[in-house]
Every structure is written in C-alpha cells, then in structure tokens.
Structure 1
Amino acid sequence: MTAAADGRHSVSVAGVIVDDRGRVLLTQRADDGQWQAPGGVLELDEGITDGLRREVYEETGLTVEPVALTGVYKNMIKGVIALVFRCKPTGGQLTINDEVKGFHWAAPEEVPKMVTEAFAVRILDALRDGSPAIRQHDGVRLI
C-alpha cells in the first residue's frame, strides 16, 4: 500500500549541492539508473537539517551545509512531501555506494536533459533566489 493509499504522508529531504562554478551534483540511482539530487526519507526521530546531512553523506560521501530551503514538493501519487535545500559542500569525498552508481557535476542547462521533469524542477528552483517554490507532481511530471 502506498503512503497516499493509507492516508499518511512521508517526508523526504534533498540537497542540491552547488559548486563554485554554479554546477549541481547529480547522483545516478543504482536501482533505476535515474539522475537526481541526493536525498531520502527523514527518520521519525531526526531533525530536518540533520536528516538532510545524513542522507547527502550516505549517498555521496560529502558533508554539506544547507544554505536555503528552496522548495516544497508533493508527489500526489505516493504521498511524499519533499523539502529541498540548496547546499554548499564542506568536506568529504564522492564515494560510490549501494544506492548510487554514478555522479555528474551538471551545468544548469544539462539538468532538464538528464533528469525527469518532477526532479529537474527541484534542482532548477534551488538555483533561483527568492521564496521557496511550492509544487505538486505525479512522480514524473508537474501537475
């Protein structure tokens, strides 16, 4: 049963890591080969930024500092609320693991070509200044 089917939501976090050249770090998922920003589901007993740092570290090997909340997104099919943050890397080293099979530092114009619409918009929103975006999607496309 999906989260939406049983009436409950889950909360995830994602970090859009931006380097000093304005590129963003994309991770290639091991399970389906899709490119995304690193992140995952918050555990019940952890704070939002602690969970963000944990998820990013687990998926990339990098330590990061959240700079700004850049968007709130809801997958209307799965009932997942995602909080997305622009982050700066502060240490660590990129490391392949069970969840991630590749990394790519992407220029903003590469993102829509590599990432599905629902996830590309999160990354591109994170590069904008201003108020956080609030969007809904079906897991692939904005709705």
Structure 2
Amino acid sequence: MPSPETGSPGPATASPPVRLQFAQKAFITSAGRLLMVRKAVSDPFQPGRWEVPGGRLDVGGDLDLDDHIRREVWEEVGLKIDPGPPFHLWQWFMDDRSPGAGGGTVRVVAAARRCRPLTLDVRFGNQDESDHLDGCAWVPLGEVWSYPLIPSLRPVVRAFLPAAR
C-alpha cells in the first residue's frame, strides 16, 4: 500500500519463494480392491500413512503424462498399467526441502487418474530411496476408510469410491 506521505510503496518485504510442481496419482483397481502404498517411518512428511502410487513430475524429464504415471507406478510398485482419464484435481503445500530453497514452500497441483493394471504382482525392487515406501496392500473398496490416509488424499478418495463400486 502506498505511503500517504510519498505515494510510494512501503519497504519491500521478501517472502520465501513458492515453487510449483505437478503430480499424478494412480487409482489402480482389480477385483473390487484398490492398490494402496504405505509411507515409511523415514518419510519426512507423512510417515506411516497410506496413499496410492504416483509422484511428482520431473521438469525437463518427463514430457508425456501417460509415460510419467507409468514410470511412477513401475518404480514404486513394479506394476505395468494402462493410464486412464483424470477424475479429480487437487493441491497441497509442503516445505521445500530442496538444496538452496531457503525456507520456501512447494505448491503441488495433482491429478488423480483411474488406471487399469496390466500386471498384478507388486514388487518394490525398482524404488528410489526418495519414495519412502515400506508396504502396500490391495485394499477392498469398503475398507479404504479404515486406513490412516494422507490428509490431502481424503477428498480424492471421497470422489473416487462412489464411481468405483
């Protein structure tokens, strides 16, 4: 707001930067079950909570969104999938812990996609340590709410379940 005396803005205050990232999450179902993954105790943001496979897009790396979600699912749980359409968009904020971030924030905009599994044997051998996953389960759709979900995933599950049954 301009100063009444000078008409110029007051002193500039620098706020920490906000970095934008895009993510995709795969809602993979088979025989009335949803594939869910558990964050490891080592996860810096949501230790021990459950979510679905997927991750953030590497700027400059992944160019095709279908290839991105295929790669994320392959790395996290070793499944091959047929990516389907997005059914929900949402966002969350998290501390930016990247080198040189200076206390900034990451705003993640995410798309949830219905995906069909082409394989069903889950394997963790392709994971990167930054995935911070230590378990997975094919959860009956009626039991999804009994798992401690990552809070930002709850509205997405609410949008997914009625159409999945």
TM-score, scaled to structure 1:
0.76
**2:27 corresponds to which residue?**
16
Residues 120-135 of structure 1: matches in 2 within 5 Å? 120-129=154-163
Corresponding residue of 1:66: 83
User: Per the alignment, in what secondary structure is the counterpart of residue 84 of structure 2?
Assistant: strand
Mapping of residues 75-114 of structure 1, within 5 Å? 75-76=92-93, 78-91=106-119, 93-96=121-124, 97=127, 98=129, 99-114=132-147
CA positional deviation for 1:128: 4.5
Structure 2 stretches lacking a partner, 5+ long: 1-14, 95-105
Structure 1 CA distance, aligned partners of 2:77 and 2:135? Answer: 9
Name which one, 1 or 2, has greater alpha-carbon Rg: 2
Number of aligned residue pairs = 125
TM-score by length of 2: 0.67
Give the % identical residues. 26
Alignment check: 8 A CA contact 1:10 1:80 kept: yes
Whole-angstrom distance in 2 between the partners of 1:35 and 1:66: 21
Residue equivalent to 1:55: 72
Name stretches of at least 5 consecutive residues in structure 1 with no aligned partner: 130-143
